[in-house]
Structure 1
Amino acid sequence: MADQIVKEVELDAPISRVWRALSDHEEFGQWFRVRLDGPFVPGAISTGQMTYPGYEHMPWLATIERMEPERLLSFKWHDFDEESGVDIAEQPTTHVEFRLEPSANGTLLIITETGFDALPDHRRIAAMRSNTEGWNIQAENLASHVAVTG
C-alpha cells in the first residue's frame, strides 16, 4: 500500500504570495480553517483548534520542521484518533511538506504527506482517504485565498 499522498496545484499567484499564505500562521489559519496559538517556528510545537465546519472539536498539534522561504514548509502533525481515548500528543505523526516551484501561471505547489505506515492498522486506510479528500479541499481553499487576498 502506498505510504503517501501527493497533491499538485497550480496557483495563479507569485511564489512570494503563496509563501506568505503558508508561513504566516494567521493567514494559514484563514484558509486551512484552524485557529493557531502562535507563529510557525522551525523546531517549535504549533498548537491550536480546528475551525473547519464539523471538525471544531479537533485539536491541532504539529512540530514545525523546516521553513525555507519561498521554497519549503514542512511539519509533522499528529493523527487525531478521537475514539482511541489517547491524548493527541501521544498519537503517531505523519509528515507534511509544501514545496513551491515557479510555473508559467505563478506557482506550482506540491503538497506531500507521508508516514501513514506509522499509524495503527485500523486508522491507516481511513486516514489516507480522509486526508486525500482534505488536501483536495485545502488546495482549493488556498487557491481561493491567494487569488482574493492578492
Structure 2
Amino acid sequence: MNIDRIEKSVLLQAPRDRVWRAVSLAENFGSWFGADFDGPFVAGAHLAGTIVPTSVDPEIARQQQPYAGQPFEFHVVKIKPMDRISFRWHPYAGDANVSAEPMTLIEFVLADQDGLTWLTITESGFDQLPPARRAKAYAANEGGWTAQCLLIQKYLALHPQL
C-alpha cells in the first residue's frame, strides 16, 4: 500500500471564483477548515496557525474542540490565481516536536465543469516522515481531507455572497 499521497476530489456547486475565495483567503479558509492564521496567504509566507473549531458543521466542530488552541506551522508555497494554491505543514503534529521533520505538500487545484468547480486536494510527502509517525499521520489526514471536502461544500452553501 502506498502511503505517500492522499488525493480527494469534490464537485462544488459554485463557480470557480467563489471556490477560489474560499481556498485562497486565509480568513475564509480558516472558517471552514477550522483554523486561525496570523496573516494572509501570500506565496512564500510562513504563517502561524491555531486550530479553532470549524464554523460550518457542529459535529466536526465538536471533534476539533479537544485540539482548539493547538499551534501549527503553515507555509504558503505557490499561488496561481484561480487555478491552484499550495502549502506545506507538519501533518498530525499534535504535541510532538516535529520542527526538524520534513513537511508534506498540500495542493488545492480548481477546474471548471458546466458552471461548477472541481476541487482536487492532494497531500504528498508522507514517505519522508519518520516511520514512527508516518502511518498515523497518513491515516489521520486521509480521513481529515474527506471531512474537509464536506466542510468546504457546507461553507459555500452557507455563504452564497462569497
d(CA) in 2 for partners of 1:80 and 1:135? 12
Deviations 1:75-103 (Å, cap 9, x if unpaired)?
1112353454x2x4333210000000001
Deviations 1:22-51 (Å, cap 9, x if unpaired)?
111100110001011110110110212001
Q: Secondary structure at the match of 1:81?
A: coil
What letter corresponds to residue 94 of structure 1 in structure 2? T
Instruction: Tell me the TM-score normalized by structure 2.
Output: 0.86
- Contact conserved, 1:11 with 1:105, CA < 8 A, in 2? no
Instruction: Tell me the TM-score normalized by structure 1.
Output: 0.92
User: How many pairs align?
Assistant: 148
Structure 1's consecutive aligned runs of 4 or more residues displaced over 3 angstroms after TM superposition are: 80-84
Matched residue, 2:154: 144
Tell me, which stretches of 5 or more residues in structure 1 are unaligned? none
What letter corresponds to residue 81 of structure 2 in structure 1? P
- Contact conserved, 1:25 with 1:40, CA < 8 A, in 2? yes
Deviations 1:46-85 (Å, cap 9, x if unpaired)?
212001322214212111011111100001112353454x
Q: Secondary structure at the match of 1:102?
A: strand
What letter corresponds to residue 93 of structure 1 in structure 2? M
Q: Secondary structure at the match of 2:43?
A: coil
Please give the residue correspondences for 1:50-69 in structure 2 after superposition, counting only pairs within 5 Å.
50-52=51-53, 53-69=65-81
**Amino-acid identity (%):** 39
Q: Is residue 85 of structure 2 the alignment partner of residue 70 of structure 1?
A: no
Please give the residue correspondences for 1:4-43 in structure 2 after superposition, counting only pairs within 5 Å.
4-43=5-44
